[in-house]
């Protein structure tokens, strides 16, 4: 009887791991975000609305609203290109990270909160 329970448990664990998607995106701290930004090449995507983006954004960020993220496949064909994401709180960036994974991008990083990133943004060297 114990042997049967062990096999059932093993089968359950294996079946659960088979349906969990492999995640290439990760949430990063503000320090990690800026370290990744120092690596070239990369792209920083602000997934907030165009109105939010026009009010202020990180230097060198492009605006691709989260619902339009699939459009980047025409511009950024290299799916290993590091993509750094952010939005107001991190939730929309998390949605985008999942979408980019589904599109095959393998180096996706969620910097989450715009205000924290802006406050710690390194100043460019003149």
Residues catalogued as catalytic: 87
* Chain Cα centroid distance, residue 22: 14
Q: What is the DSSP letter of 80?
A: T
**Strands 43-46 and 25-27, bridge-based pairing:** unpaired
Q: What angle do CA 66, 69, 72 make, to 5 degrees?
A: 150
């Amino acid at each position: 009887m114990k042997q049967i329970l062990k096999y059932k448990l093993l089968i359950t664990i294996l079946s659960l791991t088979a349906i969990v998607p492999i995640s290439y995106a990760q949430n990063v701290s503000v320090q990690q975000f800026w370290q990744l930004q120092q690596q070239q090449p990369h792209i920083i995507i602000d997934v907030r609305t165009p109105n939010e983006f026009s009010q202020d954004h990180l230097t060198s960020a492009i605006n691709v609203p989260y619902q339009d993220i699939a459009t980047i496949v025409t511009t950024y064909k290299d799916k290993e290109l590091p993509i750094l994401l952010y939005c107001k709180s991190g939730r929309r960036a998390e949605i985008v990270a999942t979408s980019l994974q589904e599109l095959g991008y393998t180096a996706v990083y969620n910097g989450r909160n715009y205000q924290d990133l802006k406050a710690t943004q390194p100043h460019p060297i003149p």
